[in-house]
Amino acid sequence: MKDIHEAAYAVIFTSQRREGGDGYAEAAARMVDLVQQQPGFVGVRSARGADGLGITVSYWDSLEAIAAWRAQVEHAATRERGRADWYAHYELQVVKLERAYRWTF
């Protein structure tokens, strides 16, 4: 996997989980495995609070790679299940990265 500082685009997915959600953990793990096989994928970082609010940022080398991931059949089916079963709401933003910085202690 490339260093995320080499990415050209980020997809920011902010979501609010509903109560319950059978199968969510398994589906989320499968999507992480699947996205890592996608051409143009650079990396992903994710966090979710105790209140169910989550943010996942995936990094990509092109808009075409992002579009291909959106069209991927298993991802599309899981996205529909998310709307039906797991999320109260979500927001998605695609942003072009202009620069990235890092600091390590």
**pLDDT by residue (tens digit) across 51-77?**
999 999 999 999 999 999 999 999 999
Question: Residue 63 has what pLDDT?
Answer: 97
pLDDT tens per residue across span 75-90: 999 999 999 999 999 9
Question: Where do the domains of the chain lie?
Answer: 4-96
To the question of domain 4-96 being in CATH 3.30.70.100, the answer is yes
If DSSP codes are grouped into helix, strand and coil, which group holds residue 13?
A: strand
pLDDT above 60: residue 5 = yes
Whether 12 shows a pLDDT value over 90: the answer reads yes
Mapped onto helix, strand or coil, the DSSP state of residue 10 is strand
* Cα dihedral 42/65/34/57 (nearest 10): 50
* Assigned token pair, 33: 């495995």
Give yes or no for residue 1 having a pLDDT over 60: no
